[in-house]
Amino acid sequence: MTRIELVRGDITEQEVDAIVNAANSGLLGGGGVDGAIHRAGGPAILAECRELRRTRYPDGLPTGQAVATTAGDLPARWVIHTVGPVYAKKDDRSALLASAYRESLRVADELGARTVAFPAVSAGVYGWPLDDAARIAVTTVREAGAKVELARFVLFSADILKEFEAV
């Protein structure tokens, strides 16, 4: 069973096997967690992402899916890029958010990763309400049945950490 840990901090500093990136479908960096990972990891991550765009995902990585690259200069071995859904009040997209976590764990299992650090996928600029994002994240990771031994949620602010602790 996967042990879940909650910490406040910077995901780019985590010494784990894999770091999950809340990526956009273009895989070429952006703002928030995505931009921070690309900046801290250096050009090797971007080079692999460009190759993935060219060979496997010319239209972008679909929402709810995940793919791995090197971690470049990060202390982790791999970055698992996943695309969470943009929150839409009138359209229940929670299955896509859960899929982003499940698919990240599936990729981690394929890589042989034992420790994985997650951000709060979709809870930033994608607008997902924190309480619901935390519930979906923790419940999905807890129930996924992955071989990963430790799933660490690395949360940027005290408010986000508080919501995850409540779950």
Any idea which residues carry the catalytic annotation?
34
Task: Give backbone dihedrals phi and psi of 30, rounded to 5 degrees, phi first.
Answer: 180, -140
Q: Token pair of 76, please?
A: 């982790």
Side-chain half-sphere exposure of 26, counting CA atoms within 13 A? 7
Rounded Cα distance, 20 and 82, in Å:
7
Rounded Cα distance, 131 and 127, in Å:
12
Contact 18, 115 (CB under 8 A): yes
Say how many C-beta atoms besides its own lie within 10 A of residue 113's C-beta: 25
> CA distances (Å), 116 to each of 28, 53, 93, 151, in order?
22, 24, 24, 5
Rounded Cα distance, 135 and 10, in Å:
21
Q: Token pair of 159, please?
A: 């408010």
